[in-house]
Chains A and B, each alone.
Chain A
């Protein structure tokens, strides 16, 4: 079945460092891909999305490109801030084959940014 694999955390970086969180997926069809962020005590918030191959999603300085050839959707940010400290979830939604659009999530990666 469909699955999402994320890099293990936690990831600890200094402020202004470059961030990459790896995400790879397995899907039978053509999924849409998402990154969600969860700040402490809050729900999951959509960070960015891409719905087809080679699409780049971007928001708040974060970017991720839908790479069909490598089945990846890695999250990047050029310069992280302390306020980016959160848990990041990669997810896919594929319904064209299954007929449903439930999300399949990765395990989440905790990011801690130090001042």
Chain B
């Protein structure tokens, strides 16, 4: 069964460093998302992406964040200068359609630890 994959599974970085989290969505999906979950808190929406541009972004997704689909398969989230509060589990998701009844398929997540 097709699945969303994410790399790395765990990333440790120092404050102020840049990180890139990678995702390979399901191949025929057109809509892509990033969510994050700070330990013990809710899963929060960060950004949605369609047709090579951002569809919507949350207040969390400030100028330190960017997303890119550099080729036909990868979808990346970059944090330019990490802060301690960026430590969280980051989930990538994709969907075939953005209609309400279509589910999003999630990857296993990347745990980001900023020290």
| Chain A residue at smallest Cβ distance from B47 | A102
Docked-complex contact B101 and A44, CB < 8 angstroms: no
Docked-complex contact A43 and B109, CB < 8 angstroms: yes
B35-43, B62-70, B72-80: which one contacts chain A? Answer: B35-43
Docked-complex contact B100 and A43, CB < 8 angstroms: no
Docked-complex contact A100 and B41, CB < 8 angstroms: no
Q: Closest approach, in angstroms, between the C-beta of B11 and any C-beta of chain A?
A: 16
A18 within 8 A of B: no
A interface bracket (residues with beta carbon within 8 Å of B): 20 to 34
Q: How far is the CA of A81 from the CA of B20 in the complex (A)?
A: 39
Known: A43-B91, A43-B106, A108-B43. A100 touches B101 (CB 8 A): no
Q: How far is the CA of A45 from the CA of B93 in the complex (A)?
A: 11
List A residues 3-60 near B (Cβ within 8 Å). 31-32, 34, 36, 41-46, 49, 51
A-B pair count, CB < 8 Å, reads 66
Docked-complex contact A31 and B48, CB < 8 angstroms: no
Q: How far is the CA of A10 from the CA of B91 in the complex (A)?
A: 22
Binding site for A on B (CB under 8 A): 4, 6, 31, 33, 35, 41-45, 48, 55-56, 58, 91, 93, 95, 98-109
Docked-complex contact B100 and A44, CB < 8 angstroms: no
Which residues of A lie under 8 Å from residue B45 when comparing CB positions? 102-104
Docked-complex contact A36 and B106, CB < 8 angstroms: yes
Q: How far is the CA of A70 from the CA of B35 in the complex (A)?
A: 28
Q: Closest approach, in angstroms, between the C-beta of B30 and any C-beta of chain A?
A: 12
Docked-complex contact A106 and B106, CB < 8 angstroms: no
Docked-complex contact B56 and A49, CB < 8 angstroms: no
Which residues of A lie under 8 Å from residue B48 when comparing CB positions? 100-102
